[in-house]
């Protein structure tokens, strides 16, 4: 017997190693972006880059409410000043931001390159005369003191024209100098963070700082004022924290229930603790494997992985159910092993589908589950039996259950009926079979989504849904292409298909356009003549426009500008967000605002005949992305089932046994989908992935139900074990089904229904001959 202890020693050594590894090397990530797929098309890749790090994702929308308008304005101002000093924040918009004097100087010097109104005719004598008359009007107006300073150098008003064309772009109403909602109930701010919206920890830190700043500002003077925050970063943090919180309490409830149930079943604390050995070894192994392969473990992988590993808790239960006075635990284990081995192998095939789905989140989960499953099986086989105290027998198990179970097979007609009913439900139900709208899977509450929409509308911020994407090989090509797109977008805006857009060309003209503008500037002799004619009859002081003549002749030869000119300024940040380099190509991303007619927009953009210009409906595109992965997972599930059938055929060496094992599982899957549909659930990627777990559980049940070796009391013990297994599964996943997080709810409901259905169906269809004696 001594020889049997060596696996335990190896196990202790390995576990010690694994504990050391997880203690020192384990890197748990929480950035949701890490779990996103790479995307299969260029558009999807771009979209995902945008989602990961784009401006829209980094934008936080803030509102202050609950105080009189004047107080709100004051709070917005002091909060904005404070936030602008914070290093993790790129930009704060609240209506107060003004161009710095350096920025104004840069813009002023570049005015003849930047201004859209620089054309040859701008400098004709007639046109100059009209401009000068306009300047006189302005001198008569209260605006005079400001205009006055620019008149000698910029009599055609290019500089103020540039400022006006930028400022006129969708800013909210102001009250006391800061942005306010139209009803003056909320002061509005926009914050652009340095960190990506999906960077949970960074986002949480920034949001905490913003809240703290707000309380410093508001707590004294306006205790009733509240800060509202929205945006992708806020959602990310909320989702993450909700999941953590729910997973924690769900785990506590589920673990308590399972513990109590196991104790009630076996009346032995020792067994309950022993049953934890395979599971905890499996979790450790899963963490080590995922961390070694991917370089990090995602928090979500950990949570869901442990859930999936719940299946391995069945293995010790089978062992414990068969413990008796006649045989030692290792002997019993050896007798059970072939059946268990086949169960483990086929479940492993099911879990490998996750590995192949090409979705990083699922791949991590698959690896975690595979490593955990293998480890737990090995531990159950070699370590656990040795740990069971010799001659230990749990409380006498309930043998009267067998009689009840025996009746089950009389009702085997239930299985085809259920399959037919489920099929009918799937065909005729009003609930669509597949969930096509990703938004429904989002755990963000409807209330929060509405707040987000409200703030976006009030701020005139793009709603992150509609983008126009322009691509080109070089930066200049891109700018030229965007310039042709701009008038077309203006037309769409005029027709009312959309309310507004932001495009890089609004701020930065291409070199070609800049050169055209330079060429439109007359030489100093011509300009002097025309100006002399233009000024006739107007009361301007003689020689007043000498600086203008000088600056135009300088502008004719001045170096062209590109985006480097604005680097490090708020304008530079804007340009960088609107125009980016992606795998050696240049891409302009134009957020569209208030798109009313998506079909019309799509058709219009397609009608431009420019293949490098694409309209992307992010919602549509992300749904498509999810759908692609779901379809792939469904396919893999199909192939997995075929592979499982092959493995079973080889392992069971009997077609009738194969039939008895496989049919309940397939029938069970159909019935589960029917039940889900009937309860108003449409299937998402997460349901499908959970069906894999159901296959694993079902295999376990069916294999044990159909053990040829079981006779008499042994069979009773098997049935008892199966009931315990299924009940623990239903308990764990039933608790999960109570979660408010749609994904957890989906997993819980699917697994709980699946476990119950598979157990019943396996019982209905179990071989009668094997339990008659």
Partner 1 sequence: MNFGTTQTRWICFLSILLLTGNVAKVTAESSLSPGDRSGNVWTVEQVVASLKEGREPSVSFEEATYSSLLTEPLIVRGLLRFTPPSTLEKEVLEPYRERYLIEGDRVTFESERKHVKKTISLEAYPALRSFVEAFRATLTGDVVQLKNVYETTVDGTSRQWTLLLRPYDPAGKSMVDYLLLSGSEGRLTTIAIRAPDGDRSVMTLRRGPSK
Residues within the interface to partner 1 (CB under 8 A): 70, 73, 95-96, 98, 101, 104-105, 108, 136-137, 139-149, 151-153, 173-178, 539-542, 544
Which DSSP helix (H) or strand (E) runs through 403? Answer: helix 401-408
The CB-of-171 to partner 1 minimum distance in angstroms stands at 11
Shortest distance in whole angstroms from residue 154 CB to partner 1? 10
Closest separation in Å from C-beta 221 to partner 1: 16
User: Which of 519, 424, 510 has its CA nearest to residue 474?
Assistant: 510
E strands within 296-339?
A: 297-298
E strand or H helix at 192, and its extent?
Answer: strand 186-193
Q: Which is nearer to partner 1, 28 or 173 (CB)?
A: 173
Comparing CA positions, the residue from 691, 667, 679 lying closest to residue 760 is: 667
Q: In DSSP terms, which residues pair with 64 in a beta bridge?
A: 187, 227
Categorise residue 568: left if φ over 0, alpha if ψ from -120 to 50, beta otherwise: left
- The least CB distance from residue 143 to partner 1, in Å, is 5
- Identify the sign of the CA torsion 612, 613, 618, 620: negative
CB of 159 to partner 1, least distance (A): 10
Integer Rg of the chain from CA: 35
Burial classification of residue 235, based on how many CB atoms lie within 10 Å of its CB (0-12 exposed, 13-18 middle, 19 or more buried): buried
Pairing of strands 500-501, 297-298: unpaired
- Closer to partner 1 by Cβ: residue 73 or 589: 73
Cβ closest to partner 1, residue 103 vs residue 597:
103
The least distance separating partner 1 from the CB of residue 57, rounded to whole angstroms, comes to: 30
Helix (H, G, I), strand (E, B), or coil: what is residue 378?
Answer: helix
Q: Which is nearer to partner 1, 152 or 572 (CB)?
A: 152
Can you tell me the distance from the alpha carbon of 301 to that of 361, in angstroms, rounded to the nearest whole number?
7
How far are the Cα atoms of 75, 161, 225, 514 from residue 177, in angstroms, in the given order? Answer: 12, 22, 19, 35
Under a CB-based contact definition with an 8 Å cutoff, are residues 674 and 423 in contact? yes
Nearer to partner 1, 145 or 609 (CB): 145
Residue 483: CB minimum distance to partner 1, A? 26
**Please, what is the minimum distance in Å from the beta carbon of residue 181 to partner 1?**
14
Which residue lies nearer to partner 1 by CB, 141 or 474? Answer: 141
Q: Which of 512, 509, 491, 515 is nearest to 579 (CA)?
A: 509
Task: Give the nearer residue to partner 1 in terms of CB position, either 167 or 427.
Answer: 167
Nearest partner of 178 among 72, 46, 320, 298, judged by Cα: 72
Give CA–CA dist 60/740, Å, rounded: 25
The CB-of-150 to partner 1 minimum distance in angstroms stands at 8
**Beta-strand (E) ranges in 194-342?**
226-230, 297-298
Nearer Cβ to partner 1 (109/457): 109
Query: Is the Cβ of residue 101 or residue 599 nearer to partner 1 in the bound state?
Result: 101
């Amino acid at each position: 017997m001594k020889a049997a202890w060596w696996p335990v020693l190896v196990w202790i050594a390995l576990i010690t190693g694994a504990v050391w590894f997880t203690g020192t090397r384990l890197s748990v990530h929480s950035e949701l972006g890490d779990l996103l797929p790479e995307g299969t098309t260029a558009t999807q890749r771009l979209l995902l880059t945008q989602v990961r790090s784009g401006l829209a994702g980094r934008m936080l929308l803030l509102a202050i409410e609950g105080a009189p308008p004047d107080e709100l304005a004051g709070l917005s101002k002091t909060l904005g000043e404070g936030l602008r000093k914070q290093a993790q924040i790129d930009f704060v918009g609240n209506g107060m931001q003004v161009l710095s004097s350096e920025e104004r100087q840069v813009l002023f010097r570049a005015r003849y390159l930047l201004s859209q109104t620089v054309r040859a005719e701008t400098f004709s004598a007639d046109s100059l005369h009209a401009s000068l008359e306009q300047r006189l009007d302005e001198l008569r107006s209260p605006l005079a003191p400001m205009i006055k300073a620019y008149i000698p150098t910029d009599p055609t008003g290019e500089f103020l024209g540039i400022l006006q064309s930028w400022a006129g772009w969708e800013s909210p109403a102001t009250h006391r100098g800061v942005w306010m909602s139209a009803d003056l109930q909320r002061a509005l701010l926009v914050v652009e963070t340095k960190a990506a919206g999906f960077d949970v920890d960074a986002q949480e830190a920034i949001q905490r700082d913003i809240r703290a700043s707000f309380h410093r500002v508001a707590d004294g003077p306006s205790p009733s004022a509240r800060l509202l925050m929205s945006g992708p970063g806020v959602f990310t943090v909320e989702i993450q924290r909700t999941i953590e919180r729910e997973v924690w309490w769900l785990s506590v409830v589920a673990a308590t229930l399972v513990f109590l149930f196991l104790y009630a079943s076996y009346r032995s604390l020792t067994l309950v603790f022993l049953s934890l050995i395979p599971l905890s070894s499996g979790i450790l192994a899963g963490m080590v494997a995922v961390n070694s392969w991917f370089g990090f473990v995602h928090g979500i992988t950990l949570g869901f992985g442990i859930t999936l590993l719940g299946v391995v808790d069945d293995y010790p239960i089978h062992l414990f159910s068969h413990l008796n006075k006649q045989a030692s635990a290792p002997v019993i284990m050896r007798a059970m092993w072939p059946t268990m081995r086949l169960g483990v192998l086929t479940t492993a095939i099911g879990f490998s589908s996750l590995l192949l789905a090409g979705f990083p989140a699922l791949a991590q989960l698959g690896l975690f589950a595979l490593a955990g499953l293998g480890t737990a099986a090995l531990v159950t086989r070699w370590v656990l039996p040795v740990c069971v105290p010799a001659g230990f027998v749990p409380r006498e198990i309930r043998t009267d259950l067998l009689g009840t179970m025996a009746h089950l097979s009389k009702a085997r007609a239930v299985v085809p009926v259920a399959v037919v009913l489920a099929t009918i439900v799937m065909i005729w139900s009003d609930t669509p079979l597949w969930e096509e709208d990703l938004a429904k899977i989002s755990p963000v509450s409807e209330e929060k989504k509405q707040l987000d929409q409200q703030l976006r509308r009030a701020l005139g911020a793009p709603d992150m849904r509609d983008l126009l994407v322009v691509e080109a090989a070089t930066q200049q090509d891109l700018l030229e292409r965007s310039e042709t797109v701009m008038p077309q977008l203006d037309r769409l805006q005029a027709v009312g298909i959309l309310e507004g857009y932001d495009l890089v060309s609004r701020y930065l003209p291409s070199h070609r356009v800049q050169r055209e503008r330079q060429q439109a500037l007359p030489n100093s002799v011509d300009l002097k003549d025309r100006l002399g004619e233009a000024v006739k009859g107007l009361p301007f002081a003689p020689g007043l426009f000498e600086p203008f003549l000088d600056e135009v002749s300088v502008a004719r030869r001045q170096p062209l500008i590109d985006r480097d000119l604005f680097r490090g300024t708020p304008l530079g940040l804007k340009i960088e967000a609107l125009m980016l380099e992606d795998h050696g190509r240049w891409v302009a991303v134009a957020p569209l605002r208030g798109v009313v007619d998506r079909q019309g927009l799509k058709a219009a953009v397609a009608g431009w005949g420019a293949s490098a210009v694409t309209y992307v409906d992010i919602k549509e595109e992300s749904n498509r992305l999810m759908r692609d992965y779901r379809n792939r997972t469904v396919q893999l599930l199909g192939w997995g089932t075929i592979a499982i059938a092959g493995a079973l055929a080889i392992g069971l060496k009997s077609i009738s046994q194969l039939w008895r094992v496989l049919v309940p599982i397939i029938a069970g899957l159909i019935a589960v989908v029917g039940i889900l549909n009937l309860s108003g659930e449409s299937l998402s990627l997460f349901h499908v992935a959970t069906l894999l777990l159901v296959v694993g559980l079902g295999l376990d049940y069916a294999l044990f139900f159909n053990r040829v070796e079981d006779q008499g009391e042994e069979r009773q013990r098997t049935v008892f074990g199966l009931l315990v297994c299924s009940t623990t599964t239903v308990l764990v996943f039933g608790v999960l089904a109570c979660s408010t997080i749609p994904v957890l709810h989906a997993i819980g409901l699917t697994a709980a229904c699946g476990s119950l259905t598979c157990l019943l169906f396996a019982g209905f269809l179990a071989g009668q001959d094997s339990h008659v004696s």
